[in-house]
Amino acid sequence: MSKYTVVISEQAQEDLEKLSGKISDQYKSPITSIRYLRGIFSEIKQLSRNLEIYSIQTRKSLQAY
């Protein structure tokens, strides 16, 4: 089984920090914020092991991402 490196852009990291702050501060749910981010990073970790199950996107609207 191949192992891949998943790179998270600076913009994505900033977005995750903002999202975490919003959930924690505005909605007064710090535990939910932690759980949500753990879930996201868990999915990213799975990508590093199972990347071959996802097809490469060829639609122009998705290629920007």
Mean pLDDT of 6-24: 94
DSSP state of 27: S
For position 21, what pLDDT does the model report?
A: 96
For position 65, what pLDDT does the model report?
A: 65
Does the pTM surpass 0.85? The reply is no
- Identify whether the C-beta of residue 37 lies closer than 8 Å to the C-beta of residue 18: no
Confidence check: pLDDT of 2 > 80: no
- Identify whether the C-beta of residue 40 lies closer than 8 Å to the C-beta of residue 16: yes
DSSP state of 54: S
Confidence check: pLDDT of 1 > 80: no
The tens digit of pLDDT for each residue in 18-57 reads 999 999 999 999 999 999 999 999 988 888 888 777 777 7
Residues 37, 20: Cα–Cα separation, whole Å: 7
Task: Tally the residues of the chain.
Answer: 65
